[in-house]
Each structure stands twice: as C-alpha cells, then as structure tokens.
Amino acid sequence: MNSLVFLIQQTMIFFVPLMIVALGAMYSERSGVLNIALEGVMVFGAFWGILFINKFQATLPSGWVLFIAIIISMVMGLIFSVFHAFAAINLKADQTISSTALNTFATAFCIFFARVVQDVEQVNFKNTFRISKIPVLGDMPFIGPAFFQNTYVTTFLGILILFISSFVLYKTKFGLRLRSCGENPQAADSVGINVYKMRYIGVLISGALGGLGGLVYVIPTSTMFNSTVGGYGFLAMTVLVFGQWKPSKIFFAALFFGLTKTIGAAYSGVPFLYKLGIPDTVYKMLPYVATLLVLTFASKRAPGPAAAGQPYDKGKR
Amino acid sequence: MNTKKKRKMFRLNSSLLSSLIAILIGLIFGIVVLAISNPQQALNGIRTLLLGGFTAGGIKGLGNVLYYAMPIIMTGLGVGFAFQTSLFNIGGSGQFIVGAYCALLVAIRCDFPGPLGWIAPLIAGMIGGALWALLPGLLRAYLDVNIVIATIMMNYIGMYLVNFLVKNTIYDSLKNQSLPVPKGNTLPSAGLDKLFSSSMANIGIFIAIIMAVVIYILLNKTTFGYEIKACGRNRDASRYAGINEKRNIILSMMISGALVGLGGALMYLSDAGKHIKVVDVIASEGFDGIAVALLAMNNPLGIIFSAIFIAYLQVSGFYMQTYRFTYEIVDVIISVIIYFSAFSLIIKQMIDKYRLRIDKKKSGSQIPEKEV
C-alpha cells in the first residue's frame, strides 16, 4: 500500500507539468500553429522563475515567492513565444525550423546568462514549497496520503487549468473561433474572424502555459536548474497527439506518461519493481518507447487540426 | 538582353544572399550580447569570435576547424537529404551515436587487417545509423506517425541504449567511457597532420566532401534523386505519376541515417582522443546538422561550406573561453542564424522584388520579361 501511495505522489509530480504544457500546445495547434518550441519555452520560463526564487527566497515568505515566480515564468514564456508567433504568423516561416531555433536559443541563452550573473550555470534553490499535509482532506484514508500529502499548490493549479481549458474551448465564443482557425482559416476569415489575431492568442497562451509548465516541472524534481527540461516539451507534444487535441483525453494521456516516467525515475523506490532485476536502462527508456508505441496506434485515428502547420495566406484559395 | 544576362552573372544567387543576411544578423546579435554582458572584454571577445580559428590557434586552429566540420558535414547532409522528401529528421543525435557505437564496436572488437581496419568500422557506422532511422521511416510511411516526434524519441532511446551497450561491451570503467580505438584502426591522417602541425584533421574530411559530391550527383543527376525530390514537393502528384512514395520515404530516411551514422563513425574513429562518454546527454552534432543543412538550403555542396563556417564558430567559441566568455554564446549565435534562415523565403522574395524594380528602372519604359 505504501508503495502505491508513493507511486501516486511521484506520478503527480511528472503528470501535472506534462498536462499543463500539453494543454498549452493544444491552444496553439487548435489555432493552426505548430509549436514545437515548447521545449525552449519551458526552459526559458522556468529559468526566470527559478532565478527569481534564487534571489528572493531569503527575503520573502515562501508563498509569495512561489506566486510571483509563477507569474514571472508565465510572462517570460509568453514573451518568448512571441518570437515563434511572429515567425509563423507574420512571416509565414517554416514553423518547425523557427521552433528548432528557439529550442536551441533558450538553453544556450539561459546557460550564458546564468554564467554572466553568477559564474556557474546551475541556478540553485531550496524547495520550501511542498505542502506536507492539507488539513482535513489529508486525513482521509488512502486518498489523503495519495493526493493531499506531500503535494504542491501547482498540482491543483494544473487541475484548475484543465477545467478552465475544457470550458473555454467548447463553451465560449472564443473557443469556437480558435478551433475554426485551426480547421479552416479561410472560412473563419470569410465570416469576419481575424485569423492572425486568433493565432497570436493561441500561441501566446501556449507560451504562458509552457513557461508555467517548465517551473512546475523543475520545482519538485530538483534543487537546481541547469537550463534543461529533459525533452519534456517534446513529450508534451506526444501527449497532445495521444490526447487527440481534446482536454479530457489530454488528462488521461498525461496521466499515462506521468506513470511511465515515474516508473522510469523512481522504480528503485518500489520494492516490487526493484526486485524484478530489469536493467536500469530499460526503465529509463520506458517513457520514450511508450511514446513511440502509443503514437503507432494513435496517429492514424486522430488526424488533428486540419490547418495546423500551414501559414495562413489571405490570397490563397 | 545581353547586358541583363551579364548583370545576372555578377549577382549572387538570391538564396545564397539570404543565407548571408541570416549569418550577418546572427553575428551582429552575438556581438551585441557580448558587448552588453562584459564590456571590458568585449573587444577581445569579438576579435576571437571573428578570427578565432586563425589567430588564437594559428594554422593548428584551422586544422581543428576541418576536424569539427567533418562530422557536421555528414549530419548536415543527412538532415538535408531527408528534407528533400520534406521529412524533418531531428533524430540526428540518435543516429549519430548509434553509428559511432557500431563503428567503435567493430574497430575495437574485430581486428581487420590493413586499411579494412578503419573501412569496416565506417561501413558498420553507416549501417547502424541507417537502421536507427529505418524505424521512424517505417512509422511515417505506413502509420502516419509524426516524424519529428518519432525521431526525437529515437534520440533518447538511442542515447540510453548506447550507454548500456558501451558499458557491457567496450567499457573503460575507470574513465566511465568507451575504450580507445587500437592505433592501427584509427583514421589515417593523410598528411593533414603535417600540413596543420599536429592538429586533429584526418582523411575523414575528404570522405565527408566526397560524400557531399556523391549526394549532389544522386539528387540532381539520377532518376532516384528526382523521385525523392518529387515526393517532397507534392506527394499526391508523385503518387499519381507512379512513384512509390512509401518506398521513397523509407529509403530517404535510411540514406539520411546512414550519412549521419557515418558522421558519428568518422568523429569517434579519429585519433583525437574522443570517446563515447556514459552520460545522459544526447549528442549535439545531430542538432548542429540541422543548422548546417538549413543554412545551405539543403544544397549538398553548400553544406560543405556551411559546416566549415559553423565549425569555425565552434572553434572560436572554444578560444573565447580564455576571455571568460561562455562557450554557449556560439549556440546563441547559431540559433539566431537558424531563426532568420527560417525567413529565407520572405527574404528571397524581397530580394527578387527589389531586383526586379531595379531592372525596371534601368530598362526605362520597356516592360521587362518575367523572371523565371
């Protein structure tokens, strides 16, 4: 039973950032812009958030530090994604290429900047944000320890974002317009929707959520940040495909990947898995192999937004 | 008409020009960042960035440029080849390291006599790379799997797998890396060591250049190359014309992987003290290959020059560390260059429009012929 609780707590740590970033990617792709730059956006957002924590942790109360760091990460992620939006929407550039450039840029720039301000590339921080137990809820049998002990505010923030996204996408005028721009921008334009504007909004939301996801990923898993999120932004893209671009399915897809990642990272803490004697490498490869397998089955079934990846050209028929 | 043709002769090709513009913007950005981050050392930093390959390292630095250009010519060729079929092979890192491992395994464990000692490992590297690219190719051709995500996943799987295999077959446990290649099985230096006074350059740079020429001929002078390109331009039209697009996707990925794998083999078979380190980091050469290919607009002959340029920057970045500049500034510059080369289409259009206007002015009232 204890292993199961441990497994669930660990899964939450990996699952929440994946879901947040995948939801971000959903906004972008639903509006018609591929955003493979999310890996870079995560790095960039997390970097500024963690740098803030590093500088102000000693002076401000920990709740405020986390709150402001979240805001900073979201804003920086948003600003970073403007470059992708500009390239993809205004200049009609190849979206994969500009994404690749931004991914390289984020890591290189953050390492460079960290070295300039503090001489080493690792940004250290103390993890003072863990909530050891939420009153009342944490006392429930099984559910309490699994979901309401050793948890983070960000976990619940992630769930909140899931519900809001689901509502926005399907129940609001904005959601309908966003989706139409990703399916048939010409038709959307013909009824007076500003395709460029909707696409900008989609990419910017994905940037904000990507930055947040970066911070949420780094805080529980480490005590220092060296400008990498280990391919997490790419995993989030897969979650999006596996989740068929729908919030509710993204939730389950992220849960699945969170679990495989947890098994890969923390199998030695689960006696049952540890005793199997399977080499370390197999566990480390697990999330990536699972991704490939899942894609194999999921790709044919869900084609995704029809116009995703194509620049919108008003003159084209 | 004649003067017009002449004028065209002296003009730079507009895609070359747009690449040069991207490089210029990238360098300017890098210089600005250098100047802001450390004003005292900025001048030294900029000088090293621009002339690093010559000044700091002398003739030896130039030889090192060729050594670093060798693997990224190959990864660039691989990425560029897949681009011709509009497949974005971002999995160069995985193919590179798998190719390198296969080459090392053959070089260390099977002792072939004479020149076969290094030729056989090179072939093994190509096969390794091709096989590592085969799976994403199959998935793309038959199951419509997104090639970008599939190849990225193969990068991580390849990295972990090679770490595991190195540990179990060719492991130097003291240094946590692969065993050194036996002296007789390293790449011959072909006189380049004397030319560049004991640098790391070797016969590999010639192999890389020959491969670039071979790929150029394959793409531009053969039916197979035409089919590959046709599949990239318009998949439906090429299927209608009787081209087997699935077969071409798979072949294109395999050739791409073989080229990248050969790059890994060349790099690790060089007698330059490079070993596969057992760390959880994916090989950067695969990503450098993307930059190289984009900068050259996938032209195999252009790739030779863009790879030498990127390698030059890398060597400069190495020497810039003497002025306490972080090496990553080079990656910053390269990423800015790629970002702007993504705009190449727009920049090209702007150049063409501008030139057309000049032509109009010069030819007076005459209506210029439409440029093709």
pLDDT tens string, chain B, 372 residues long: the values are: 455 555 554 566 777 888 888 889 889 998 898 888 888 888 888 888 888 766 655 677 788 888 889 999 999 999 999 988 888 888 899 999 999 999 999 988 887 887 888 889 999 999 999 999 999 999 988 888 888 888 988 999 999 999 999 888 888 888 888 888 888 788 887 767 777 766 677 888 899 999 999 999 999 999 988 888 888 888 788 888 888 888 899 999 999 999 999 999 999 988 777 888 888 888 888 888 988 898 888 899 999 999 999 998 888 888 888 888 888 888 899 899 888 887 777 777 777 788 888 877 777 655 545 444
What's the confidence (pLDDT) of residue B58?
67
A234 touches chain B (CB under 8 A): yes
Integer distance in angstroms from the first to the last C-alpha of chain B? 15
Break chain B down into helix, strand, coil percent, rounded to 5.
75, 0, 25
Contact A90, A314 (CB under 8 A): no
Of A273, A251, A250, which is closest to residue A263 (Cα–Cα)?
A273
The minimal CB distance from B342 to the residues A94, A105, A300 is found for A94
Burial of A184 (0-12, 13-18, 19+ CB in 10 A): middle
Helix (H) or strand (E) holding B239: helix B235-240
> Is-contact B54 B229, C-beta < 8 A?
no
Query: What's at A89, amino acid-wise?
Result: I
Domains of chain B with CATH codes: 10-41+330-372 (no CATH), 59-323 (1.10.3470)
Is A111's Cβ below 8 Å from some Cβ in B?
A: yes
Query: Does the model's pTM come out above 0.90?
Result: no
Q: What pLDDT is recorded for position B199?
A: 66
How confident is the model over B297-313, as pLDDT tens digits? 889 999 999 999 999 88
Lookup: tokens for A227: 């400008």
Write the burial class of residue B326 (CB in 10 Å: 0-12 exposed, 13-18 middle, 19+ buried): buried
Whole-number Å distance between alpha carbons of B256 and B297: 16
Q: Give how far the C-alpha of residue A61 lies from the chain's centroid of Cα atoms, to the nearest Å.
A: 26
Q: CA A9, CA A13: separation in Å to the nearest integer? A: 7
Q: CA-CA distance, B227 to B247, in Å (whole number)?
A: 10
The predicted structure's pLDDT at residue A3: 74
How do the domains of chain A map onto residue ranges? 2-298
Angle at B153 between CA B122 and CA A160, to 5 degrees: 165
A116 touches B: beta carbon within 8 Å = yes
Q: What tens digit of pLDDT does each residue of B86-96 get?
A: 888 888 999 99
- Which value does ipTM take for this structure? 0.85
3-state percent helix, strand, coil for chain A, nearest multiple of 5: 75, 5, 25
Q: Which residue from B minimizes the CA distance to A94?
A: B342
Position B371 scores a pLDDT of 46
- The DSSP output letter for B185 is G
A104 contacts on B by Cβ (under 8 Å)? 287, 291, 331, 334-335, 338
**Phi, psi angle pair for A132, to nearest 5°:** -70, -35
pLDDT recorded at residue B1:
45
Which of B260, B208, B279, B232 shows the shortest CA–CA distance to B66? Answer: B208
pLDDT value, residue B55: 60
Q: Give the pLDDT score at B96.
A: 95
Q: Measuring CA to CA, how many Å separate B125 from each of A235, B132, B256, B268?
A: 28, 11, 13, 10
**What is the secondary structure of A294-307 as a DSSP string?**
HHHHHTTT----TT
| pLDDT computed for residue B372 by the predictor | 43
Q: Which residues of chain A lie closer than 8 angstroms to B150, CB-CB?
A: 292, 295
Distance CA(B328)–CA(B317), nearest Å, equals: 8
Give the mean pLDDT per block of 10 residues along chain A (317 residues).
Answer: 77 89 93 89 94 87 88 95 91 82 91 86 80 72 71 86 92 91 88 91 95 92 82 86 87 88 75 72 84 79 72 70
CATH number, domain A2-298: 1.10.3470
Task: Enter the tokens of residue B317.
Answer: 């970045």
Query: Under a CB-based contact definition with an 8 Å cutoff, are residues A267 and A273 in contact?
Result: yes
| Contact call for residues B147 and B140 (beta carbons, < 8 A) | yes
**Closest alpha carbon to A124 in A223, A17, A264:** A223
Q: What is the pLDDT of residues B35-62, one digit of tens each?
A: 888 888 888 888 888 887 666 556 777 8
The tokens for B20 are 């040069």
B346 interaction partners in chain A (CB closer than 8 Å): 91-93
- What angle in degrees, to the nearest 10, is found between the helix axes of A2-30 and A173-183? 70
pLDDT of res. B20: 86
pLDDT at A147: 72
Q: Which residues of A touch B343 (CB under 8 A)?
A: 87, 91, 93
Nearest to B160 by CA among A26, A285, A43: A285
Out of B143, B152, B164, the one facing A299 most closely (by C-beta) is B143
Residue A74 class from Cβ within 10 Å (0-12 exposed, 13-18 middle, 19+ buried)?
buried
- Nearest CA-CA partner of B287 in B88, B146, B125: B88
B253 contacts B246 by C-beta, under 8 angstroms: no
